[in-house]
Structure 1
Amino acid sequence: MKKQLILADGTIFIGEGFGSETDTVGEVVFNTGMTGYQEILSDPSYCGQIVTLTYPLIGNYGINRDDFESITPAVRGFIVKEAAEFPSNWRSDFTLDEYFRMKKISGIAGIDTRKLTRIIRQHGTLAGVICSIEADAQKVLEDLRKATFPTDHVYQVSTKNPYPSPGRGKRVVLVDFGMKHGILRELNQRDCDVIVVPYNTTAEEILLLRPDGIMLSNGPGDPKDVPEAVEVIKGVLGKIPFFGICLGHQLFALACGGDTKKMKFGHRGSNHPVKDLATGKISITSQNHGFTVDMDSIQNTRLEVSHIALNDGTIEGLKHKDYPAFTVQYHPEASPGPEDANYLFDQFIQMMETEKQEVVAACQNVQI
């Protein structure tokens, strides 16, 4: 089954189709990870995107039941050099092709992914279509250039109703902008009593749950497309300890007076070095984002940079100068080989404990 990939700049690639036979359209991005394709395809932050895998062989260990980051994949399509037809792993349940057919995800293999990656690096992310070889390429290109793309990605992937993930430790309200299950796993491992809430939950509703802390999850798209979340953060900032990841990090910056901007081709991979400015420690991190906090925009805010990306100097972490709140742009719940960034969850637990002790001490000092 031949398919073609048509980019908005007019470039056309011809390859072999796999997965669903339906056409698909989305923003074409690339990920440099050598492994982790199952986590990538099930990451809600890829909602609306067609992902190019730069590693040449994808699907070689199959699809298993354990490595999903969400139940329903939001990715629009996959572009690979070679899709393995006979995976070799004792945990494998499906081939990539079988799983994509079940989930109606379109894929294309056999194209020059190095050339495609160079195009994206040179021109930035591009809209693209994976379609049948029989489709009129010129007509598809005309429609693609006229197309308008949705901006409600967070609405699409966020939970519609609150739900608990019980524990006996600190109560954490986890605001779901497109949460990876790894975040919930890390909180559960620390015995947190987690309540997952939709992205548009109000500050008043969050405060009624009496949390010890709030976590802002990752998610897809432009943070400026979620203005209601910015207002929620303003409504609870200073009242409860905060920890934000990825989109949560960007929304936190907006709520504190900073600004965000679109990157040329973003950070997507599992080997991005990040420096903790307080300790000098370098962590190898997993990342997936197309927007970043503007360094100049935080100069007149109460924020300070806590982490930077060593590859390009962009902001990878922020903390508030007055309140117990910090955020990171990368994914500390992911384990791209090492678990370098796991300590941030322990730091969040300690921040909640310290805040609680200070409140107790303040109450004890009140003269009656």
Structure 2
Amino acid sequence: MPSPCLLPVLALAVCMVGAAEFMLSPMLAPLADAFATTPARASGLISAYALSYALAAPLMGWFSDRAGRRRVLLAALLLFALDGIALTLVPTLHAAMALRILGGLAAAATIPTVFALIADLVPPARQAGAMGGVMLGMTAGIAAGPAVAGVLADGFGWRAPFLVTAGGCLAALLAGCHVLPRNLPRSGDCQEKSRNIPASSGILLPLIAKGAWNGSAVAAYVLAGEVLRLRYGLGVPGVGAALSVFGLGLAVGNLLAGRASQCFAREESVLIVATALVAVALTLFTTGVLGLPGSLGCLLAWGAALGIAAPSSTAILARRAGAAKGQILAVSESINNLAVLMLMPVAASSLAVHGTVPAALLVGGCCLAGVALAVADRRMTA
């Protein structure tokens, strides 16, 4: 049995990754001043990180399957910490962007390795709950990262958020050295291969389905602030407060993931119900037919359903991937990011030119397509 401290340590690791990915949003102006550039060019730090993450994830997942998850995760946390410290020392924007590429590589190794570790060490019946608990750490990093980074940057300078995330990674590294088992199986082990060959089929359909429903859900959330501003005339504080409801729902969903798995005979059924709720909630929110209180309720339901769907989908992919779970989970991360990158410009343009209803039909239709693929997968694997 894994150490009882294992899941909190893994949650801390993914919390730092989530915070590092989103914390630059309120820091673009001080970063632009520090590197003598414009905020628009400073936003290249975000793009460099995200693109490196998306492109490197499959390779890092493959590497974790073969080099050993403990070794890869500890090395990734060390690289992440050193990258954050080095960012506070470089003199130019180009050097900072190069370091953010390294940070993206470290994140690409961390996330799939963490969830592959859970699949390796936690019994199948408890995997969705364990993954939901660890995803709660990522949710906390994504939700609190920008706010905390803004406070730190304002009070102590732009270097402070990078040093804090570096310190968090070092803490996770030191704790991981003690709680991560040293005798983890590798994908090259014959026993692991023979046990999981039948489970490795049926991967493509759930990968595409997740890209559709997760990509549309994330893209719609990115646009949610603009929808609230246009429809209800909310200012920046009002929009921020309204969007925090989504984060609350996401955290609740992460906590309920294990209980939801116990209510259904198969994890695939949990996924279908959760993603269908995501599709309905985001469509109702974007069309605005329920007014402001109803829109806030939709944000809450949308976040909660997504918080259940994500660990359920991850558990399904890990089970079916067998010995290649690290690589498959990494490919899933890349597909999710690429889906968001492709859908976002189209949805944003539709919102600006044609209004909320066409944008709702676009993101809602993509999400429903993902649900339909999940239903088809459930029937094929019955």
TM-score by length of 1: 0.27
- Looking at secondary structure, tell me which structure has more helix per residue: 2
- Looking at secondary structure, tell me which structure has more strand per residue: 1
Q: Which has the higher contact order (CA 8 A, sep 6+)?
A: 2
TM-score by length of 2: 0.26
- Structure number with greater Rg is 1
